């Protein structure tokens, strides 16, 4: 699944070139009917390629969770979806039916910015923690959709970055196994979760029971009374 910021940029380009125009769709396997007379559209190596009606497209979108890049996204719906089940929070974040657009890089960087343990059960996610996570996702995706690169705030310089070159991606934890955490200097870890590499800091992303109990008590104190 590409990161959501990439999809938004591609959608903008497609909108500029394709909206309001007709085009030819063909396939070496004969998957599309012949007979269109418009200029051809070439897609290189898509994982899935099919023509959808407006109704089919709406049904497909209805299966997606809230998109942090959309101003009408519902954070409360995203929180409810994330809390379902006791799978690790990092695994829940890659479920596009819970939150749309989160890929492997974004989940690692957003969880780091929000100081959340990636392997903690998603059902234990508290409101204040989710708010930090949602804001981190929104900011990362907005910047990446605008600039075309993911640059985590306060991330160390990329090793290939040199003066005079264009800015590259810069990550705090993703693909930095064994290197020092930019926040606490603990060597960063990598584990395999559902076949994907998960990067995090075992120092500042480890749950602390005392801190957690205080946060739970404050949340209960401020919860609306029935």
Domain CATH for 149: 1.10.8.50
pTM: 0.72
Annotate 147-196 with DSSP letters as a single string: HSS-B-TTPPPPTT--TTSPP--B-SSTT-TTSBPTTT-PBPEEEEETTE
What 3-state DSSP class applies to 204? coil
Q: Which domain holds residue 139?
A: 75-153+172-222
Kindly give the confidence (pLDDT) of every residue in the chain, 226 residues in length, as a single tens digit, with 9 standing for 90 and above: 566 556 666 666 666 767 777 766 666 656 655 556 555 555 555 566 677 778 887 787 788 899 998 889 999 999 999 999 999 999 999 999 999 989 999 999 999 999 999 999 999 999 999 999 999 999 999 988 888 788 899 898 876 655 554 557 899 999 999 999 999 999 999 999 989 999 999 999 987 543 444 445 555 555 555 4
Residue 189 lies in a domain: yes
Residue 101 lies in a domain: yes
What is the tally of structural domains in the chain? Answer: 1
Give pLDDT, residue 226. 46
């Amino acid at each position: 699944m590409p990161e959501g910021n990439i999809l938004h940029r591609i959608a903008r380009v497609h909108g500029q070139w394709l909206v309001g125009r007709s085009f030819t769709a063909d396939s070496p396997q004969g998957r599309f009917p012949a007979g269109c007379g418009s200029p051809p559209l070439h897609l290189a190596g898509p994982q899935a390629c099919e023509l959808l009606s407006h109704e089919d497209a709406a049904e497909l979108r209805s299966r997606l969770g809230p998109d942090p890049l959309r101003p009408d996204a519902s954070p409360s719906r995203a929180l409810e979806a994330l809390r379902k089940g006791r799978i690790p929070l990092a695994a829940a974040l890659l479920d596009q039916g819970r939150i749309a657009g989160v890929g492997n890089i974004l989940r690692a960087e957003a969880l780091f910015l929000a100081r959340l343990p990636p392997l903690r059960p998603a059902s234990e996610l508290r409101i204040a923690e989710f708010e930090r996570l949602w804001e981190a996702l929104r900011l990362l995706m907005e910047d990446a959709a605008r600039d075309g690169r993911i640059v985590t705030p306060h991330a160390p310089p990329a090793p290939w970055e040199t003066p005079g070159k264009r800015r590259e991606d810069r990550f705090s934890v993703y693909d930095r196994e064994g290197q020092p955490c930019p926040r606490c200097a603990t060597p960063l870890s990598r584990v395999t979760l559902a076949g994907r590499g998960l990067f995090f800091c075992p120092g500042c992303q480890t749950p602390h029971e005392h801190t957690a109990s205080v946060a739970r008590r404050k949340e209960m104190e401020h919860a609306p009374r029935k």
